[in-house]
A and B are shown apart, each in its own frame.
Chain A
Amino acid sequence: DVVMTQTPVSLSVSLGGQVSISCRSSQSLVHNNGNTYLSWYLQKPGQSPQLLIYKVSNRFSGISDRFSGSGSGTDFTLKISRVEPDDLGVYYCGQGTQYPFTFGSGTKLEIK
């Protein structure tokens, strides 16, 4: 199975600040078709997860440009700029390249 390692486990940021979350996979996430199926999700308190970023760097419909994804192969990063109160929650990376699909263990974002 592809193991997804997320760091840090938690972080605290001031409103208006910027944060980065790292996600590393134990194997390359480049699919045979050339796509890299790495996604980022946010689960706000008491809510279902929501898709933020797909295929490494593509923002899903309605997602603010304050969220950006980057990376390749086995190393990926989610950056959140100008942090707002509504950004708090747990962020997960997930891979859809190889079965079984797997997720990182999550990064909890708290607002100072």
Chain B
Amino acid sequence: EVQLVESGGGLVQPGRSMKLSCAASGFTFSNYGMAWVRQAPTKGLEWVATISYDGSSTYYRDSVKGRFTISRDNAKSTLYLQMNSLRSEDTATYYCTRGAYGGYAYWGQGTLVTVSS
């Protein structure tokens, strides 16, 4: 069974940093591209970043480019999102997703990041 378990969310002050992790199991992690998708409270879905199966390629939405870094450790089957210079508009539930067929085949339960003073 595919499982994606996010951790690392919580309350953080504007301008500070936070690192999210996603532990994957139930599939060969190193074979799949992975992504982070977020959802602000009561809002819709927003793609944040994607990383290729081997980590050689990364893509970001403009609003996080230069502030967020997606990475992965295939030996640990873990996906990361390093978030720096956080803003109030980054407040959201962050989902770890496994890519497939040009979409997001599996989703974690999400971790809430609240950026507030």
Contacts and interface: CB of A to CB of B under 8 A. Distances in A.
Give the interface size bracket for B toward A.
Answer: 20 to 34
Given A37-B101, A41-B45, A101 B110 contact: no
5 contacts: A43-B45, A48-B95, A96-B102, A97-B102, A99-B59
Main secondary structure of the interface of B (DSSP, over half): strand
A38 B101 CA distance: 9
Contacts of A105: 44
B76 interface: no
Interface string A81-112: 00000000000101011011111111000000
B10 to A, nearest CB: 19
Which of B37, B101, B106 is the most central at the interface, judged by chain A CB atoms within 10 Å of its CB?
A: B101
Interface in B22-65: 35, 37, 44-47, 50, 59, 61-62
A51 interface: yes
A31 B46 CA distance: 21
A104 B102 contact: no
Contacts of A101: 35, 47, 50
B45 to A, nearest CB: 4
A109 B55 CA distance: 38
Contacts, number: 67
Contact of B47 (A31, A51, A102): A102
B44 A106 contact: yes
Interface of B: 35, 37, 44-47, 50, 59, 61-62, 95, 99-110
Nearest to B45: A103
A73 interface: no
B84 to A, nearest CB: 19
A58 interface: yes
B104 A100 contact: no
Nearest to A97: B102
